[in-house]
Chains A and B, each alone.
Chain A
Amino acid sequence: MDQMLTLTFMTAMLAAAFRFATPILLAALGEIFTERSGILNLGIEGVMLGGAFVGFYVMYVSGNMWLTFLAAIFAGLCMGGVLGFFYITLRANQVVVGILFSLMMVGLTSFLYRLLFHETMLGKQERLTQLPIPGLSQIPFLGEILFTQSPLTYLALLLAPVAHFLLYRTEFGLSVRAVGEHPRAADTLGVSVTRLRYLSVLIGCGAAAVGGVFFSLHFGQFLDEMLLGRGYIAVAIVIFGQWRPGRALLGAIIFGLVDAFALRLQALSITVPFQFLLMLPYVLTILALLISVRFRGDVGSPSGPHALMAPYER
């Protein structure tokens, strides 16, 4: 046990926590907008998987990091368009469409993988490398944890305050929140509920796809089961965060920490069966959800925006 208390162990674990938090944070920040507009997107798991696959393929073909991200975002927006069409235009049941979309993406990506790579199991590809920030990364302890990360981690951490500003300090955020709480009120003032909900779904899916890319680039390979429900965890983090970016950031870091902790414990030959350690982050998420309703944010009720999951008809 004393191995755990060393400084090296702690720094490594905290750095890993931020790494693991990255994709969940990206997806959760996007999902906050989607849900604030009144749409629960459980297809987020499928969108992340799709983003991971497209990113992996483009990276394999082009080797260009920028192109990879653009392609993933584009794929995310396409998937968002499809989902939005079901959620908003067809007013379909959001839970059913979302879950089925996620299940479908598992099949679609593994099919495309075999089609494009002819069933050969590829070796590891080029991976997302760390980009230490000059100067800041030299700070003892903190430098290694916060400033020796991949660009995506920096991006995710920066997007949290950006999302907060967008949601609370702009006309766009005001409209999104209104559409999710009282769409008819927004409609009577000439705010297009349909337009804002599409935009919010697109934001959510774009962000989730980037979160997905993190997986394939981080591991340098693509597996259809590589997400392990991280998309659903992002949805849980949104609830834990009571639909606020700041608290979602906290939730993602806590999840990352437990994830990192569970992984390290396995390496430390502890007598607990490793399956239990793998369960740890998920068990914690359920517990966190139970207590989160005690800390209400500005959303009307602990169950979310008032018009969440309610299709709008004039």
Chain B
Amino acid sequence: MSDTPYAVEMKEIVIRFPGVLANDHVNFTLKQGEIHALLGENGAGKSTLMNALAGLYRPTSGVIKVMGEAVQFHSPKDAIAKGIGMVHQHFMLVPTQTATENILLGLPEPRFHVDLKRFDEQILALQQQYGLFVDVKSKIWQLSVGEQQRVEILKTLYRGADILILDEPTAVLAPQEIDELMATLRSLVAQGKSIIFISHKLHEVEKVADRITVLRKGKVTAEGLPIQGLGKQQLAQMMVGRDVIFRVEKEAQPAGDVVLAVRDVQALNKKGTPALRGVSLDVRSGEILGIAGVAGNGQSELAECITGLRPCSGSIRIDGVELANAPPMRAIKAGVAHVPEDRTHVGSAPNLSITDNTIMKQYREAPIGNGVTINRGHARAFAGRLKEAYDILAPSVRTLARKLSGGNLQKVILAREISGQPRMLVAVQPTRGLDVGAIESIQRLLLQQRAAGAAVLLISEELEELFSLSDRIAVIFAGQIMGIVEAAAADIATIGLMMTGTRLEEIRQEKEAAT
């Protein structure tokens, strides 16, 4: 065993960006034929370390060895030549080109003329070998996220990669797709590949990895530990540096009157194709209704219709007032608060201060605004109060929104939306990409709203979050509600089946037939 060199050996890696020490003397080893999980919170330096291994960044100091040989990468091309392939968290695929075109991009062969048919066949053969099937002639934008990921993996395999880096590969997948991916990873390892699996989800790491390395704030807190014998709690502590409560406590409370009534809503998406095909649901006062579904099945459009940002047909009522196709102002006046999916561009104005971002709804009302001018003193005081109350970590209320971490930015947005005591809160992916600590405080704020009697529509891709926060869970697939279940009585298999297009009635019928 001692004769076999490590597939990858990174020693004392330091990566410094202006003002930030992203990696502080990090050691990392990957054995041949193993799946090694790289664990850590957002901003811990996992992606930075791996981008250095993929040739995208150059370490300030440190040594990288691949198969026992010291290497210096000047560009991704050098890394590819050494058999390293990376599947980035945000896919590096050109949406307007076909799978084959994306795979061929940047290769020395074909030299000039591209005969797509010939290469389509080559890639089909590769698909057979690894069991990664996807239509090579489809344009990337026509493929599901899971299929796009397969294209990414094929891209690295076509380049002859032996060492695969997968950056948060499960973030965008449905439960069944995650299982498929795990199976793929095991078969890749069986065929001699070595895999680095970046994640911040403990249960996945437990399932698939052989060893783990944990990073916290750019430093290694656990180096190459075998996964056996490590508990979830222990992993979390290494990641965060303190104990984490896994379940936020939720008081039982009876739901009140119907606040939001959605009836037969149909709407188109940005591309002009149907995104919602007759959605009906109710959300009651003091209740959280979770919407589960794989990204792109109409969740965003539903939130936009309710908040007045997207034209639709059908009926959307808040406390009996019709709001379908009404301008956003009417929705706001009716008490609708919105935590949008894209917090940096829709939820906030990145180049404006915390003050300006928090008064974006309040500026019309006294004492901050009088309809013409804005009283800066009152505005700053208002922002200061919110900063205090919501524990927003920033030097001052003058700090620009873009300088805030994801968690603090989300707190600014929530503070603005919640401070008006909304009747209805629409929260889209409120905790996506946040670290464990921030997730906890955001979830707590959502539960506070529920306790205060607001109706909450929570759209999330994190099933764990939906299960722990929601009173009821509705599953959306291809713009239709597949079924609504009580969260306490729901099981993950049923939700997973609905997420991939089986209706609740069908699942129940089958169960009855089986018994």
Smallest CB separation, B150 vs chain A (Å): 16
Give every chain B residue within 8 A of A178 (Cβ-Cβ): 94, 97, 102, 105
Smallest CB separation, B347 vs chain A (Å): 22
Knowing A169-B113, A170-B113, A171-B111 touch, does A177 contact B97 (C-beta < 8 A)?
A: yes
User: Counting CB contacts under 8 A, is B92 at the interface?
Assistant: yes
Among A168-212, those with CB < 8 Å from B are 169-175, 177-178, 181-182, 184-191
- Given B88, B91, B111, B114, which contacts A169 in the complex, CB threshold below 8 Å? B114
Complex interface bits, B24-57 against A, C-beta within 8 A gives 1, otherwise 0:
0000000000000000000000000000001010
Give every chain A residue within 8 A of B75 (Cβ-Cβ): 190
Kindly state the separation between the CA atoms of A170 and B445 in the bound complex, as whole angstroms: 55
**Count of A-B residue pairs with CB < 8 Å:** 76
Smallest CB separation, B331 vs chain A (Å): 27
User: Counting CB contacts under 8 A, is B475 at the interface?
Assistant: no
Contact A170 B114 (CB under 8 A): yes
Contact A190 B76 (CB under 8 A): yes
**Which of B56, B101, B106, B114 has the most chain A CB atoms inside 10 A of its CB?**
B106
Contact B76 A188 (CB under 8 A): yes
Kindly state the separation between the CA atoms of A169 and B101 in the bound complex, as whole angstroms: 10
Contact A181 B94 (CB under 8 A): yes
Knowing A174-B114, A188-B56 touch, does A298 contact B96 (C-beta < 8 A)?
A: yes
User: Counting CB contacts under 8 A, is A134 at the interface?
Assistant: no
Give every chain B residue within 8 A of A186 (Cβ-Cβ): 94, 105-106
Give every chain A residue within 8 A of B236 (Cβ-Cβ): none
Kindly state the separation between the CA atoms of A188 and B105 in the bound complex, as whole angstroms: 10
User: Counting CB contacts under 8 A, is A118 at the interface?
Assistant: no
Give every chain B residue within 8 A of A172 (Cβ-Cβ): 112
User: Counting CB contacts under 8 A, is B65 at the interface?
Assistant: no
User: Counting CB contacts under 8 A, is B185 at the interface?
Assistant: no
Give every chain A residue within 8 A of B77 (Cβ-Cβ): 189-190
User: Counting CB contacts under 8 A, is B86 at the interface?
Assistant: yes
**Which of A169, A178, A306 has the most chain B CB atoms inside 10 A of its CB?**
A178
Contact A182 B93 (CB under 8 A): yes
Kindly state the separation between the CA atoms of A170 and B141 in the bound complex, as whole angstroms: 22
The residue in chain B whose Cβ has the minimal distance to the Cβ of A192 is B75
Give every chain B residue within 8 A of A314 (Cβ-Cβ): 56
Knowing A188-B92, A190-B76, A300-B96 touch, does A174 contact B101 (C-beta < 8 A)?
A: yes
User: Counting CB contacts under 8 A, is B95 at the interface?
Assistant: yes
**Which of A185, A186, A314 has the most chain B CB atoms inside 10 A of its CB?**
A185
Interface of B is mostly: loop
Among B406-425, those with CB < 8 Å from A are none
**Interface extent on A, as a size class?**
20 to 34
Contact B112 A191 (CB under 8 A): no
User: Counting CB contacts under 8 A, is B181 at the interface?
Assistant: no
User: Counting CB contacts under 8 A, is A299 at the interface?
Assistant: yes
The residue in chain A whose Cβ has the minimal distance to the Cβ of B81 is A190
Among B77-109, those with CB < 8 Å from A are 77, 80, 86, 88, 91-97, 101-102, 104-107
Smallest CB separation, A180 vs chain B (Å): 9
The residue in chain B whose Cβ has the minimal distance to the Cβ of A191 is B106
Smallest CB separation, B33 vs chain A (Å): 25
Kindly state the separation between the CA atoms of A79 and B355 in the bound complex, as whole angstroms: 47
Smallest CB separation, B117 vs chain A (Å): 11
Interface of A is mostly: helix
The residue in chain A whose Cβ has the minimal distance to the Cβ of B78 is A190
Q: How many residues of B contact A (CB 8 A)?
A: 28
Give every chain A residue within 8 A of B155 (Cβ-Cβ): 189
- Given B80, B96, B114, which contacts A190 in the complex, CB threshold below 8 Å? B80
Contact B105 A191 (CB under 8 A): yes
User: Counting CB contacts under 8 A, is B68 at the interface?
Assistant: no
User: Counting CB contacts under 8 A, is B110 at the interface?
Assistant: yes
Contact B94 A171 (CB under 8 A): no
Smallest CB separation, A245 vs chain B (Å): 16
Smallest CB separation, B302 vs chain A (Å): 23
Contact B96 A181 (CB under 8 A): yes
The residue in chain B whose Cβ has the minimal distance to the Cβ of A165 is B113
Kindly state the separation between the CA atoms of A186 and B56 in the bound complex, as whole angstroms: 12
Knowing A170-B114, A171-B111 touch, does A187 contact B94 (C-beta < 8 A)?
A: no
The residue in chain B whose Cβ has the minimal distance to the Cβ of A187 is B76
Smallest CB separation, B55 vs chain A (Å): 8
Give every chain B residue within 8 A of A173 (Cβ-Cβ): 114
Complex interface bits, A287-313 against B, C-beta within 8 A gives 1, otherwise 0:
000000000001110000010000000
Contact B106 A182 (CB under 8 A): no
Smallest CB separation, B196 vs chain A (Å): 16
Give every chain B residue within 8 A of A177 (Cβ-Cβ): 94, 96-97
- Given A174, A175, A184, A298, which contacts B92 in the complex, CB threshold below 8 Å? A184
Give every chain A residue within 8 A of B91 (Cβ-Cβ): 185
The residue in chain A whose Cβ has the minimal distance to the Cβ of B80 is A190
Contact A171 B96 (CB under 8 A): no
Contact A171 B112 (CB under 8 A): yes
Give every chain B residue within 8 A of A300 (Cβ-Cβ): 95-96, 141
Contact B106 A190 (CB under 8 A): yes
Contact A171 B110 (CB under 8 A): yes
Contact B96 A185 (CB under 8 A): no
Give every chain A residue within 8 A of B86 (Cβ-Cβ): 188
Kindly state the separation between the CA atoms of A181 and B102 in the bound complex, as whole angstroms: 12
Give every chain A residue within 8 A of B94 (Cβ-Cβ): 177-178, 181-182, 185-186
Give every chain B residue within 8 A of A184 (Cβ-Cβ): 92
Among B267-305, those with CB < 8 Å from A are none
Give every chain B residue within 8 A of A298 (Cβ-Cβ): 96
Kindly state the separation between the CA atoms of A299 and B95 in the bound complex, as whole angstroms: 9
Kindly state the separation between the CA atoms of A118 and B384 in the bound complex, as whole angstroms: 71
**Which of A172, A175, A186, A188 has the most chain B CB atoms inside 10 A of its CB?**
A188
Give every chain A residue within 8 A of B96 (Cβ-Cβ): 177, 181, 298-300
Complex interface bits, B124-154 against A, C-beta within 8 A gives 1, otherwise 0:
0000000000000000010000000000000
Contact A188 B54 (CB under 8 A): yes
- Given B97, B105, B112, which contacts A189 in the complex, CB threshold below 8 Å? B105
Give every chain B residue within 8 A of A181 (Cβ-Cβ): 94-97
Contact B76 A170 (CB under 8 A): no
Kindly state the separation between the CA atoms of A188 and B110 in the bound complex, as whole angstroms: 18
The residue in chain B whose Cβ has the minimal distance to the Cβ of A168 is B114
Give every chain A residue within 8 A of B141 (Cβ-Cβ): 300
Kindly state the separation between the CA atoms of A306 and B114 in the bound complex, as whole angstroms: 23
Smallest CB separation, A222 vs chain B (Å): 39
Kindly state the separation between the CA atoms of A85 and B56 in the bound complex, as whole angstroms: 24
Smallest CB separation, B273 vs chain A (Å): 13
Complex interface bits, B52-70 against A, C-beta within 8 A gives 1, otherwise 0:
0010100000000000000
Kindly state the separation between the CA atoms of A300 and B95 in the bound complex, as whole angstroms: 7
Kindly state the separation between the CA atoms of A186 and B93 in the bound complex, as whole angstroms: 8
Smallest CB separation, A307 vs chain B (Å): 10
5 A-B interface contacts by CB (under 8 A): A178-B102, A189-B105, A190-B76, A298-B96, A306-B95
In addition to A177-B94, A185-B102, 10 A-B residue pairs with Cβ atoms within 8 Å of each other are: A170-B113, A174-B101, A182-B94, A184-B92, A185-B93, A188-B76, A189-B105, A190-B75, A190-B76, A300-B95
Residues of A within 8 A of B (CB): 169-175, 177-178, 181-182, 184-191, 298-300, 306, 314
The 5 residue pairs across chains A and B that have the minimum distance between CB atoms: A190-B77, A189-B106, A185-B92, A191-B106, A182-B94
